[in-house]
Every structure is written in structure tokens, then in C-alpha cells.
Homo-oligomer: A and B are copies of this chain.
Amino acid sequence: MTVRGIAPPSATVLHEPMTTLMSLTETQDFLDREFPQMQAGGRAYHLEAVGPLTARMRLEAHERFLRPGATVSGPAMMALADYVLYAAILANIGPVALAVTTNLAFNFLRKPASGDLLAECRLLKLGRRLAVGEVAITAVGNPDIVCHATGTYSIPPR
């Protein structure tokens, strides 16, 4: 018995901004420039969408992320959650390279198969000093949430 997928934010957001401050391409370019190491060993993290208070990122299945039983490793999922949360914040507040993660909490719910993973993020709060979001990770083609995360970024004074 499982809940599938993450909540469609559009159904629950009433007064959100209608657009992001950075486009998908601008956000991805910024990430590539600031964090080239994330793609070391071959590009694997693909930002697929950004929206008002949301972002979606795909982790391409690479051997380097696998664990025994051909399941994607916990650390690969943790990196994915951190990264998509950062992307959601960036897209919505503009390029702030110095935003830093202060807190991340993960529940690992079931083992994913070895294919690509999707991480959907929605921001629960986008304040002046702190941004808080949640991330649901699923395997492509299977709506079961395999990992759920919440995280906080501290935003430097602007």
C-alpha cells in the first residue's frame, strides 16, 4: 500500500508567482558553471523543469550510482534531493551562489530499481533568510515514492 507520486503543486498553490526569475536553461547553466563536479564521470543530473516554487530533476542511471542488487545508492538519491532543492530555490530567487544547505532529512521508503530516477521538489517556504522544501523521488515509470526528503537552505542577505 503506497502513495504514488508527489502532490501536483498546481492543485494546492493559490497565490504563487506566475513565473520564475530564471528559466530552465538559465538555471541549468548556472548550476553547470557553479557545480561542474556534480557531473564528474559523465553528465547524469538533468534539470527537466522549473516552475513557481517547483523543480524537477532526473538522475540518469549510471553504474557509479548503483549498489548491490542493481539499486540506486542512498548517497546518489541524497545528492539528487539536495541538488533539485537548490535548483528550485535558484530558479525562484535568481542566481545566489552562496545559498547553503543547513538541514536535510531523508526517509528511505523502498528500494528503487536500477533505471532513471525523478526528483520532484516543491518549496514549502521561500522566506528572506530561509527556504524550505520537500522532495519526492520516484523511479521512472513507477509512481511509488522511493525516497522522501525535506531540506532547508540559508539564503545570504541580498
Chain A residues with a Cβ under 8 A of chain B: 1-9, 11-17, 34-35, 37, 40-41, 52-53, 63-68, 73-75, 78-79, 82, 92, 97, 100-111, 122-126, 129-130, 132, 134, 143, 145, 148, 150, 152, 154
B41 & A123 in contact (Cβ 8 Å cutoff): no
Q: Copies per complex?
A: 4
Q: A40 — nearest CB in chain B belongs to which residue? A: B64
Give the shortest distance, in Å, between A53 (CB) and chain B (any CB): 6
The 10 closest A-B pairs by CB, nearest first: A7-B7, A75-B79, A105-B105, A5-B12, A109-B125, A78-B78, A1-B126, A104-B106, A4-B14, A107-B132
Give the shortest distance, in Å, between A145 (CB) and chain B (any CB): 6
> Considering the chains assembled together, what is the distance between the CA atoms of A126 and B144 in angstroms?
12
B residues near A79, Cβ cutoff 8 Å = 73-75, 78
A8 & B12 in contact (Cβ 8 Å cutoff): yes
